[in-house]
């Protein structure tokens, strides 16, 4: 009788323990899934931001260059058409600029927002003022000095280089975020990262000759779960 009771009690305890472990495992997986979806959403938002900045910034610089080059050899009708294209892209860029200043610090970095404002936007705004002045001179019949166009073109070349630098830095962040979301984070073995390694991984490190070269890749979201022995 006691043997039967022990079997029944063991069965009940096994069921309770198994059910508790299963619930905890399901809860942990659900939490990881929700965090993954949140991080994936942020990654897509960052990617969309990078594409939008590259597209609008490239279009604005192109229209500025196109208008500048038309001041010498285009007809009045062609000039008016290019002025319209230029004013349209300036309008669309300025409409989105404030959102760039807001989203860049949230999704990428504050440094990129500051770089966009101080190194790209301010210089581009100054070049636009000069282009507007040249267009006004052209319309009023004033002969435009080639030196003014040459100097403005040099400024546009500088803006182009800064825009490329901005896009490269932003795309690098996008790529790092993609790796982090889909492939995990690489962790080098050191005193400061011991809590990121499992017990088995720590035992394995004892038998590695060059332990400084030892590293593991862990899912980024797994590292963020509370109450987890890393």
- Structure confidence by residue, pLDDT tens digits, 6-26: 656 565 656 666 666 666 667
Long-range (24+ apart) CB contacts under 8 A made by 7-16 are none
Query: Could you tell me if 207 and 176 lie in one domain?
Result: no
In this prediction, residues 194-216 reach a mean pLDDT of 68
Query: Could you tell me if 48 and 156 lie in one domain?
Result: yes
Query: Could you tell me if 229 and 176 lie in one domain?
Result: no
Query: Could you tell me if 29 and 142 lie in one domain?
Result: yes
pLDDT at position 229 over 60: no
At 152, list the tokens: 């403005």
Average pLDDT, whole number, for the chain? 82
Residue 219: phi and psi, rounded to 5, are -55, 130
Query: Could you tell me if 118 and 7 lie in one domain?
Result: yes
Query: Could you tell me if 110 and 216 lie in one domain?
Result: no
Query: What's the domain range around 201?
Result: 184-230
By three-state DSSP, how is residue 131 classified?
Answer: helix
pLDDT given at position 18? 62
Domain count, the chain: 2
pLDDT at position 153 over 50: yes
Query: Could you tell me if 157 and 228 lie in one domain?
Result: no
Query: Could you tell me if 157 and 190 lie in one domain?
Result: no
Distance of CA 177 to the CA centre of its chain: 7
Query: Could you tell me if 130 and 79 lie in one domain?
Result: yes
Query: Could you tell me if 166 and 135 lie in one domain?
Result: yes
By three-state DSSP, how is residue 19 classified?
Answer: helix
Query: Could you tell me if 126 and 154 lie in one domain?
Result: yes
**Residue 91's domain is classified under what CATH number?**
1.20.120
pLDDT at position 222 over 60: no
For 74-128, write each residue's pLDDT tens digit. Answer: 677 888 999 999 999 999 999 999 999 999 999 999 999 999 999 999 999 999 9
Query: Could you tell me if 230 and 134 lie in one domain?
Result: no
pLDDT band at 226 (very low <50, low <70, confident <90, very high): very low
């Amino acid at each position: 009788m006691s043997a039967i009771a022990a079997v029944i009690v063991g069965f009940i305890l096994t069921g309770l323990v198994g059910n508790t472990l299963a619930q905890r495992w399901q809860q942990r997986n659900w939490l990881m899934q929700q965090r993954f979806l949140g991080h994936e959403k942020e990654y897509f938002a960052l990617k969309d931001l990078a594409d939008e900045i590259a597209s609008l910034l490239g279009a604005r610089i192109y229209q500025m260059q196109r208008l500048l080059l038309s001041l010498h050899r285009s007809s009045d009708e062609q000039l008016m058409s290019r002025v319209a294209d230029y004013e349209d892209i300036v309008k669309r860029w300025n409409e989105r600029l404030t959102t760039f200043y807001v989203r860049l610090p949230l999704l990428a970095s504050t440094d990129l927002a500051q770089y966009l404002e101080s190194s790209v936007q301010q210089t581009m705004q100054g070049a636009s003022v000069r282009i507007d002045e040249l267009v006004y001179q052209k319309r009023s019949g004033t002969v435009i000095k080639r030196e003014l166009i040459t100097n403005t073109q040099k400024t546009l070349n500088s803006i182009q280089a800064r825009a490329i630098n901005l896009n490269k830095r932003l795309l690098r962040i996008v790529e790092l975020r993609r790796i982090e979301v889909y492939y995990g984070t690489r962790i080098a073995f050191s005193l400061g990262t011991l809590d990121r390694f499992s017990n088995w991984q720590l035992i394995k490190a004892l038998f590695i000759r060059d332990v400084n070269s030892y590293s593991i890749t862990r899912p980024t979201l797994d590292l963020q779960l509370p109450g987890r022995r890393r």
